[in-house]
Chain A
Amino acid sequence: GAGVSQSPSNKVTEKGKDVELRCDPISGHTALYWYRQSLGQGLEFLIYFQGNSAPDKSGLPSDRFSAERTGGSVSTLTIQRTQQEDSAVYLCASSDQRGNYGYTFGSGTRLTVV
């Protein structure tokens, strides 16, 4: 597509429930990144995909967080047994990874755990 698409744009969930966040990167972009932005904060790196592989998942905060990417395209970030501290905006970005660090970000999914 023309840009990075994320869905849903907003998600309210009860504590303890699982959630799935979806990211559709720009067509042809091999690199895909997930970041988390808490209220009034900068962006915190979660995980990086090159193709379908995740060579760097060092930012995932706990084993409740996981992500996958299929077909070198769509990625899903899953949070199990959500906690209130998981409330944040989850941003996805993609790049063509040819030495170009100018990611294109999606608009994010605002997750609220109540």
Chain B
Amino acid sequence: GQQLNQSPQSMFIQEGEDVSMNCTSSSIFNTWLWYKQDPGEGPVLLIALYKAGELTSNGRLTAQFGITRKDSFLNISASIPSDVGIYFCAGQLIGTASKLTFGTGTRLQVTL
């Protein structure tokens, strides 16, 4: 199936640092979404992007839909301990209105 390459796979950062992660694909996506998953829970939507070039913020989170429609990034500013978790990108491929393709996730750990 289609793959979303998400990087980095994991990162350790100190509280207060900024974080950046991204997803790339060889395919064109209509929609990009970023989710966060805490242990034992389902993913929770953070940001949704619907247009190429779109830059959207949600508090300390900022995400962009790449111009080529093949990539997206997520930035977290001034990280705090509760940012710990696994972040997934997800995209909706052209012609596949029924489902999302998910990246393999970025595990974020924040140290004090």
Contact with B along A25-57 (1 / 0, CB 8 A): 000000101010000011111001010000110
Q: A101 and B104 in contact (CB under 8 A), knowing A55-B98, A107-B42?
A: no
Contact with B along A80-101 (1 / 0, CB 8 A): 0000000000010100000001
Residues of B within 8 A of A55 (CB): 98
Interface residues on A, range: 20 to 34
Within 8 A of A (CB), among B42-67: 42-45, 48
How far does the Cβ of A99 sit from chain B's closest Cβ, in whole Å?
A: 8
* B43 touching A102, Cβ below 8 Å: no
Is A59 an interface position by the 8 A CB rule? yes
How far does the Cβ of B9 sit from chain A's closest Cβ, in whole Å?
A: 9
Task: Count A-B contacts at CB 8 Å.
Answer: 53
B32 nearest CB neighbor, chain A only: A101
What is the CA–CA distance of A42 and B43 in the complex, to the nearest angstrom?
11
* A33 touching B48, Cβ below 8 Å: no
The interface centre, meaning the residue of A43, A59, A93 with most chain B CB atoms within 10 A of its CB, is: A43
B residues engaging A (CB < 8 A)? 1, 4, 6, 31, 33, 40-45, 48, 88, 90, 92, 98-105
Q: What are 5 A-to-B residue pairs whose CB atoms are below 8 Å?
A: A45-B100, A103-B45, A103-B100, A105-B44, A107-B40
4 extra interface residue pairs, beta carbon distance < 8 Å, beyond A44-B102, A93-B42, A101-B92 = A42-B102, A43-B88, A48-B98, A101-B100
